[in-house]
């Protein structure tokens, strides 16, 4: 499971990097979205049961061995919410850039077009 997850995360990071290096602005945005998925999965994988015990006690007052750590799941949830909000904002911003003088090439972002 951990191996499969690691491969998946690696593939997502690779795809995100590929998209981020494109000139097309839409691809760059997709790259950012893929990147946030990759990062969320990476956080998830940190919750795999390792040597330490999570901060949850069983009915006998002892830590339960082999239980997944719930904290990273809470972190991922927070990260997803934040990432969602930011993605929507970025999409709106990109849409404003498209409108009027269609900018869809990232190289045009650096150009001065008056002020």
Partner 1 sequence: MNDLLVISPILVPLITVIACLLPGLSRRASDTVSLFSAFVLVAACVGLLVQVASHGTLTLRAGSWAPPFGIVLVADTLSVLMLAISSIVALAVLIYGVRGGEEDSSPGHLHVLIHGLMLGVNGSFLTGDLFNLYVWFEVMLISSFILMVREGKRSQLPGGLSYVLLNLLASALFLSGAGLIYGKLGTLNLADMASKLGALEDPDLVNTSGALIFVAFAAKAALFPFHFWLPASYHRAAPAISALFAGLLTKVGVYALLRLFTLVFTPDNGFSSTLILYFSMATMVIGVLGAVAQYHIRRLLAFHIISQIGYMTAGLALGGELALAAVIFYVIHHIAVKSTLFLVGGVLEARTGTADIRQHGGFYKSSPLLALCFLIPAFSLGGIPPLSGFWAKLNLLQAGVETEHWLFIGTALVVGILTLFSMIKIWNESFWKAPPEGMEADRPLSGRPYPAMLLLCVLTLVFSLGGAFVFKLAKQAATELCDPSGYLNAVLKGGAL
- Give the residue carrying structure tokens 């945005």: 29
Is residue 94 a contact point for partner 1 (CB under 8 A)? yes
**Residue 85 near partner 1 by CB under 8 A:** yes
- Return the number of the residue (59 or 99) whose C-beta is nearest partner 1: 99
Q: What residues contact residue 109 under an 8 Å CB cut-off, 6+ apart? A: 25, 97, 103
Whether residue 42 contacts residue 34, with contact meaning beta carbons closer than 8 Å, is answered with: no
The CA–CA distances, whole Å, from 24 to 17, 18, 28, 33 equal 13, 12, 7, 15
110 binds partner 1 (CB under 8 A): yes
CB nearer to partner 1: give 67 or 86.
86
Q: Is 60 in the site for partner 1 (CB under 8 A)?
A: no
Q: Does 15 bind partner 1 (CB under 8 A)?
A: no
Is 12 a residue that touches partner 1 (CB under 8 A)? Answer: no
């Amino acid at each position: 499971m951990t191996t499969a997850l690691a491969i998946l995360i690696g593939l997502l990071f690779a795809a995100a990097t590929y998209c981020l290096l494109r000139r097309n602005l839409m691809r760059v945005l997709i790259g950012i979205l893929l990147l946030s998925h990759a990062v969320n999965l990476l956080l998830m994988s940190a919750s795999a049961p390792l040597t330490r015990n999570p901060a949850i006690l069983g009915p006998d007052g002892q830590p339960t061995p082999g239980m997944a750590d719930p904290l990273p799941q809470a972190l991922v949830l927070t990260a997803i919410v934040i990432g969602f909000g930011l993605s929507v904002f970025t999409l709106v911003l990109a849409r404003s850039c498209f409108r009027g003088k269609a900018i869809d090439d990232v190289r045009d972002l650096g150009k001065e077009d008056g002020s």
